[in-house]
Structure 1
Amino acid sequence: MHKLKLIQGEKITDISKMAGSINLTTSIDTLGASFEFSMPRNFKDSNYALTETIKTGNIIKFENEKNIFTGVIVDIDTLKFSKEIKCFDFYFYLNKNKVIKQFNSLNASSCIESLLKSIGAKIGKIERIATSIDKIYKNRTVA
């Protein structure tokens, strides 16, 4: 069964039963995913008070047995009876960071590691890619 979790600092709330219009979109062009959903609003019913606490910057997790999406709320459209919420996964930040890098006959794995270090990203295991890169990248996104 799918679960949708709202993470506000240390507080994690399962909002699966309240959320609707769930839409997950991936894009090879941006290397990332966007996630949209809606939450009901009703000022006269305290059961919907949680909706009013949702803010940009909160984290959303969509999962079943495995994690499907984790991202940051970047936009909230507040309507009379609902909030339409848009999230981007963390690849969004790779597409916003522009760098100037010069690689001189460096293997692709090392280039990737260098790019990630330059923006302070956590680096997991990078598979070895032997392709040699000898190029200057100016004002290009990290993605």
Structure 2
Amino acid sequence: MEENHEVKLRVRVSANDVHYAGNLVDGAHIMKLFGDVATEITIRYDGDEGLLRGYENVEFLEPVYGGDFLEVVGKIVKVGNTSRKIIFEAFKIITSSNDVNQESACDLLESPILVAKAVGTSVVTKDKQRKTDPTGFEPAT
């Protein structure tokens, strides 16, 4: 898929993002990251930030903790006149080793862990669309 149809964002979850006991991060933080990915996708595709209209099929699959590193991916799967349907996935790629003798030790995960996924729709009104897609876009499957 062409680069303007898929966006990857890597971020470390900060201690400031912890919301619950046990260093647990709330799902709303991941939703914010999905929104950031949607914004970048519409900028790349349309030349405008657009507006994330809504989500469907949101699933939180595994816990996320302060200190984890996430890779958040979004892909356009359907394009309408003004709407862009996007699938989102968030993967944990690095996590704390929880070694009490080495508080800063972290582990690179052999396989990324899918922690959340969703489908969203972004809208860019015709008057805001500044780009035409030169790539002959084919939706992801």
TM-score by length of 2: 0.27
- Give the structure with the higher percent helix: 2
* Structure of greater Rg: 1
- Give the structure with the higher percent strand: 1
Query: More relative contact order in 1 or in 2 (CA 8 Å, sep 6+)?
Result: 2
TM-score by length of 1: 0.27
